[in-house]
Amino acid sequence: MADAVITEFAGTRKGPITRFYQYSRDGVRVLDTGKNVQRLYLFGPSADMMTERDITNKEKILRRFIFDQNGMLEETFSFGQRPRTFRYENGGMQIAVREGGQYGAVGKTFTFDHNGIVETAWGRDGEIERVYIFDAGNDSITERASGWYGPVSRTWIFEGIDASVFKEREAFLQFIVFTERNDEVSDSALLNSAEGDTSVDENPSEKPRQKKSSEISYAERHSGR
C-alpha cells in the first residue's frame, strides 16, 4: 500500500498549510511544512498498540497507546506526564477521557453524531470545545471551535485514504493522537489565519482566549474555576 498523505491547513483549505501526515501500514509520520519529521508513531505487530517514538532514536518510546474492546490506554514515559484512559460508553457512541488512570476525573468527552464528532471540555457536562465534521466527498475533515457553526480552526485534506476511515472509534482515537497540537501551532494562530467563515465584523483579538482542556489543571476541574 502506498503511503497516504493528509495535509493540514490552518482555518479553511484556502489557509496556509501547517503540517503533513504520512499514513502507512507501519505508522504515521508528522511532518512540518519543510517536510521535516516532527513526530513518529509506529503501529505494533498486532492491531492493538501504537507507540510514539523519539525521532532521533527510534528505539526510545515516548508514549504507548494500547487498544482493546473498551477503548484506549495512553501510557507515558516522560516525567510529569499523567496517563490517560479513553473509554467507550453508551454503546460506543461516546468516549470519556480520564486523566491519571481509569479512576481519574473525566476531563473531556467525544460524542459521535451523524454529522461528526463533538469534543467537550470540563467533563461530561462541559462546554463544546470543538467539533470534527466529515465533509461531503469523503476527502476532508473540518474542525470548528466551540460548536457546529464556530470558526474553522483546521481542515485536513486526505489523499490515498478516505476521511471516513476515521469515523471508526479506534481509528478516530489514533487521529486525535497524531493530530494533537503542540507549542509550535497555537490556537490563536489557527483561528486568525485565512479564516473564510469568520464575519468581517468580528475582531478575534477582542475576544477573550478560551482555555484549552489540556491547559486546565486537575485541581481547576474539581473546583469548577
Express each pLDDT in 157-195 by its tens digit. Answer: 999 999 999 999 999 999 999 999 865 444 333 334 374
d(CA 110, CA 213): 13
Q: Give the model confidence (pLDDT) of 133-158 as tens digits.
A: 999 999 999 999 999 999 999 999 99
Sequence-ordered list of residues with C-beta below 8 angstroms from that of 200, at least 6 positions apart, any chain:
none
DSSP assignment of 30-95: EE-TT--EEEEEEE-SSTTEEEEE-SS-TT-EEEEEEEETTEEEEEE-STTPPPEEEEEEGGGTEE
Q: Decide the pairing of beta strands 61-68 and 37-43.
A: unpaired
Asked whether the predicted pLDDT for residue 220 surpasses 90, the reply is no
d(CA 162, CA 23): 12
pLDDT at 192: 41
Domain boundary assignment for the chain: 4-79+139-198
Separation of first and last alpha carbons in the chain: 49
pTM score, whole prediction:
0.79
Task: Kindly report the average pLDDT of the chain as a whole number.
Answer: 83
The least confident of 66-70, 84-88, 195-199 is 195-199
Q: 31: which strand partners?
A: 20, 37
Asked whether the predicted pLDDT for residue 218 surpasses 90, the reply is no
Q: Which residue has the cell 508514549?
A: 63
Torsion angle defined by CA atoms of residues 3, 51, 187 and 98, in that order, rounded to the nearest 10 degrees: 140
